[in-house]
């Protein structure tokens, strides 16, 4: 009896242990089903709350109303101011500078004497020739009187006249040479620089000019335009010229556009006449904007608001939907761009509300506010 009593409980324990494993698997499966039901309920509640509470999804943006305007496209080049009459004045005859009659900044007239080269030899030659001419003139007059009275030979009369006329021509030549010892301004203007000093050698072959005279009332801007734009630039085209050093901008027109392309720089030369202005100086930097395209009544937007999807440009506009402000994507057709502005050929029209800030990540019908 004792052995039977011991064996029966042991078998019961073993059976109980073996029967526990199915209960755990069933419980795990039950918990998983409960979790799935809870996840569904949570998702449904979140969706319902999201529909009822839209304030968290409204994005603040800035908008700008689109208006039609004139769009200009420019060719930008850099040039410099130059004087149409900017003359280096040299002495016409070599010699030592004996007098300087002007100073820098002085206004001068055309033909005014600026300086003098040593003319002693020319003066001495003229004085000697004048003495000879006086004698020749007296001899001629006497021979003429005799010839008028039929006294003397015709040859004597003709020789006397020829001697006198030859000396006159020589005197005229010497006086011209004397005039070339004076350094004369060829234009009206201002003495911009005096290069010579008393005692310096001057002449047409000198290493530097004697003076520089500039007519500041006749200025121009010179610039070189790349060959690729040559077909779009012509005389008479409107331009905007700005001078960064003095903070000034003027409207003008091209006065000259070269028809020849420089073989070295592959550019064409353009010149823009400038109005008289004491603030403008030769060699001053100038920026030229040549208008090569104009569109009237154009829709123009900032380049920065344009986004791309699958390679196609689009922008975001604000629209009214059921009394609420929502975002809408608009695909656009772009025209030309200049700096930070772009011409829109299609996709927008005047009156549209363009989203200019806060447009990133907006989809169609997303709620927005200002």
Domain co-membership, 165 together with 104: yes
Distance CA 301, CA 131 (A): 88
* 246 and 207 share one domain: no
Shared domain check, 25 and 117: no
Supply the CATH number for residue 287's domain. Answer: 2.40.30.170
* Residue found by looking up tokens 């901008």 in the block: 249
Domain finish residue from 194, 213, 232: 213
The enclosing domain of 59 has a CATH number of 2.40.420.20
**Residue 141 and residue 152: Cα distance in Å, rounded?**
13
- Considering the domain architecture, whether residues 284 and 329 belong to the same structural domain is answered as no
Task: Report the pLDDT value the prediction gives residue 186, as an integer from 0 to 100.
Answer: 94
- Is the same domain home to 94 and 159? yes
Identify whether residues 80 and 218 lie together within a single domain. Answer: yes
State residue 169's pLDDT score. Answer: 93
Give me the pLDDT at residue 41, please: 84
Q: What is the pLDDT of residue 53?
A: 53
Domain boundary pick from 247, 276, 294 = 294
Separation in Å, CA 85 to CA 219, 236, 237: 8, 22, 24
For 277-306, how does the pLDDT look when each residue is reduced to its tens digit (9 = 90+)? 888 888 899 999 999 889 999 999 999 999
Under-70 pLDDT residues of the chain: 1-22, 49-56
> Residues 120-153: pLDDT tens digits?
988 899 999 999 999 999 999 998 898 888 887 8
Can you give the CATH number for the domain in which 164 is found? Answer: 2.40.50.100
In terms of domains, do 202 and 341 share one? Answer: no
Domain count, the chain: 4
Is residue 105 domain-shared with residue 219, that is, in the same domain?
Answer: no
**80 and 61 belong to one structural domain:** no
Question: Based on the domain organization, do 95 and 209 belong to the same domain?
Answer: yes
Query: Residue 202 is encoded by which pair of tokens?
Result: 């001057």
Domain that holds residue 301: 55-71+296-369
The reply to whether 94 and 191 lie within a common domain is yes
pTM score, two decimals?
0.57
Which pLDDT score is estimated for 4?
Answer: 44
SS3 labels along the chain: CHHHHHHHHHHHHHHHHHHHHHHHHHHHHHHHHHHHHHHHHHHHHHHHHHHHCCHHHCEECEEEECCEEEEEEEEEEEEEEEECCEEEECCCCCEEEEEECCCCCCEECCCCEEEEECCHHHHHHHHHHHHHHHHHHHHHHHHHHHHHCCCCCHHHHHHHHHHHHHHHHHHHHHHHHHHCCEEECCCCEEEEEECCCCCCEECCCCCCCCEEEECCCCEEEEEEEEHHHHHHCCCCCEEEEEECCCCEEEEEECCEECCCCCCCCCEEEEEEEECCCCCCCCCCEEEEEEEEEEEEEEEEEEHHHCEEECCEEEEEEEEEECCEEEEEEEECEEEEEECCEEEEEECCCCCCEEEEECCCCCCCCCEEEC
Which has the closest alpha carbon to 126: 160, 80, 75, 172? 172
d(CA 270, CA 5): 124
Pair (41, 62) in one structural domain: no
- Quickly tell me which residue has 């968290």 as its tokens: 56
**Domain closes at, from 270, 294, 318:** 294
């Amino acid at each position: 009896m004792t052995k039977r009593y011991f064996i029966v409980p042991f078998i019961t324990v073993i059976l109980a242990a073996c029967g526990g494993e199915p209960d755990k698997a069933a419980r795990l499966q039950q918990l998983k089903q409960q979790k799935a039901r809870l996840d569904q309920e949570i998702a449904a509640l979140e969706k319902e709350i999201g529909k009822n509470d839209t304030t968290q999804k409204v994005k603040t943006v800035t908008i700008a109303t689109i208006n039609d305007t004139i769009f200009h496209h420019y060719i930008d080049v850099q040039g410099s101011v130059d004087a149409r009459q900017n003359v280096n004045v040299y002495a016409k005859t070599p010699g030592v500078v004996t007098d300087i009659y002007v100073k820098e900044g002085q206004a001068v007239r055309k033909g005014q004497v600026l300086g003098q080269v040593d003319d002693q030899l020319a003066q001495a030659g003229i004085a000697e020739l004048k003495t000879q001419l006086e004698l020749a003139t007296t001899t001629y007059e006497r021979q003429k009187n005799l010839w008028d009275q039929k006294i003397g030979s015709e040859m004597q009369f003709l020789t006397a006249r020829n001697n006198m006329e030859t000396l006159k021509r020589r005197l005229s030549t010497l006086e011209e040479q004397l005039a070339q010892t004076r350094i004369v301004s060829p234009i009206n203007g201002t003495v911009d620089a005096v290069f010579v000093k008393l005692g310096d050698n001057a002449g047409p072959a000198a290493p530097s000019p004697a003076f520089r005279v500039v007519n500041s009332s006749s200025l121009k801007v010179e610039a070189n335009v790349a060959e690729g734009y040559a077909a779009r630039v012509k005389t008479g085209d409107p331009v905007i010229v700005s001078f960064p050093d003095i903070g000034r901008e003027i409207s003008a027109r091209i006065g000259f556009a070269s028809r020849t392309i420089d073989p070295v720089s592959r550019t064409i030369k353009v010149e823009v006449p400038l109005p008289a202005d004491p603030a403008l100086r030769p060699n001053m930097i100038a920026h030229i904007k040549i208008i090569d395209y104009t569109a009237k009544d154009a829709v123009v937007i900032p380049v920065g608001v344009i986004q791309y999807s699958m390679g196609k440009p689009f922008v975001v506009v604000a629209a009214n939907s059921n009394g609420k402000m929502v975002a809408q994507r608009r695909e656009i057709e772009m025209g030309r761009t200049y700096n930070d502005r772009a011409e829109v050929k299609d996709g927008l029209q005047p009156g549209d509300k363009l989203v200019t800030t806060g447009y990133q990540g907006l989809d169609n019908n997303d709620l927005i506010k200002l």
